[in-house]
Structure 1
Amino acid sequence: MYGTVTQPKRYKQSAGLLLFRREAGGGAGGVEVLLGHMGGPLWAGRDAGGWAIPKGEYGPEETPRDAARREFTEELGLPPPEGEYLPLGEVRLSSGKLVTVWAVEGDLDPALMVPGTFTMEWPPHSGTEHEFPELDRVAWFSPAMARNKLMVAQIPFLERLLTLLAD
């Protein structure tokens, strides 16, 4: 008896950059991270859990690190900083998506952000398409504030960065 061959399910992959800066004196206590508030009407009234590391999906033709750099530029409208890219590993989301993040030290003025956009039907079932920013704003946060702002699934990346900087 012959069975059917099923292909393994291919989950989406996403990659991003967690930008950090240090205050004079260094150490993990003097660190701030740059997070972006999710754009669009579904996130408009949400603060806690509505912020994310700039990231996005990529396919097999692109390396995760190249995708992270591209997505940083697409979402913020600014080039990613040069410097040492510190791997923060991967997190598998409940959806199955695999997210890979690097940290890089740098500084930027949030006012210079020119966000990328996406289009979606809004209100739902209206037949009307609207364009929204992928991130509607970015801001610097202390680690304590970032824990409250970040989407829960991305908190491990913050914790890994702080561990790396403390070592």
Structure 2
Amino acid sequence: MSGGRAKRSAGLLLFRRTGHGIEVLLGHMGGPLFARRDAGAWTVPKGEYEPDETAWDAARREFREELGLPPPDGEAVTLGEVTQTNGKVVTAWAIEADLDPAVVVPGTFTMEWPPKSGRHQEFPELDRVEWMTPDRARTLIVSAQATFLDRLVEHSA
């Protein structure tokens, strides 16, 4: 990739064990660009960070910013890195924890909408979060992040 350093993101993937196997907590990306999309519009709660912050610290900070809740304590399972089609390198960890999606208070971002209108609107970072099986998650998650699901399933087998 030319033009300097790739953007880096870090995140936490929560998982829980149920009677029918594990489930993962994914977020649907907020804002007008993803409003009508399902496939490829779900993500591990994550965000960008700068070189002066560790990926682990960023993952925990972004969890709080994106979900409005403190990151859970627990053993962190390293899921490694993936490179998304936009060139962004994402690092993730999984933590076994339960969380009620109803208590999520998503952070927000501002963007010009509609484009070139001069109007800026605020949108939630994630407009909903949901527990789902890894098989269902694989059909909805940003494609490169499916590797995280595979690594988690392998770890929890």
- Into which bin does the TM-score normalised by the smaller protein fall? over 0.9
The alpha carbon displacement at 1:93 in A equals: 2.1
- Distance (whole Å) between structure 2 residues aligned to residue 49 and residue 41 of structure 1: 14
The alpha carbon displacement at 1:97 in A equals: 1.7
Query: Which range moves more in the overlay, 86-95 or 118-127?
Result: 86-95
Match of 2:82 among 91, 94, 97: 91
- Distance (whole Å) between structure 2 residues aligned to residue 71 and residue 15 of structure 1: 8
Contact kept, 8 Å, 2:11 with 2:91, in 1: the verdict is yes
- Distance (whole Å) between structure 2 residues aligned to residue 42 and residue 8 of structure 1: 26
Q: Does 1:19 align with 2:37?
A: no
Match of 1:113 among 90, 104, 107: 104
Runs of 4+ in 1 over 3 A off after TM superposition: none
- Distance (whole Å) between structure 1 residues aligned to residue 97 and residue 38 of structure 2: 24
The alpha carbon displacement at 1:94 in A equals: 2.8
Q: Deviations over 1:36-93 (max 9, x none)?
A: 0000000000112211000000001110001000000000001111000010000122
- Distance (whole Å) between structure 2 residues aligned to residue 13 and residue 151 of structure 1: 15
Aligned length: 156
The alpha carbon displacement at 1:153 in A equals: 1.3
Partner of 2:131: 140
Match of 1:78 among 69, 85, 105: 69
* Paired letter, 2:100: D
- Distance (whole Å) between structure 2 residues aligned to residue 135 and residue 127 of structure 1: 24
Match of 1:125 among 98, 116, 119: 116
Identity, % of aligned positions? 65
The alpha carbon displacement at 1:8 in A equals: 7.3
Match of 1:9 among 4, 7, 25: 4
* Paired letter, 1:80: P
Q: Deviations over 1:80-131 (max 9, x none)?
A: 1100001000012233221100000000000000000000000000000000
Query: Which range moves more in the overlay, 90-99 or 76-85?
Result: 90-99
Specify every segment of 5 or more residues in structure 2 that has no aligned partner in the other structure, as ranges.
none
Specify every segment of 5 or more residues in structure 1 that has no aligned partner in the other structure, as ranges.
1-6
Output the TM-score relative to the length of structure 1.
0.90
* Paired letter, 2:74: G
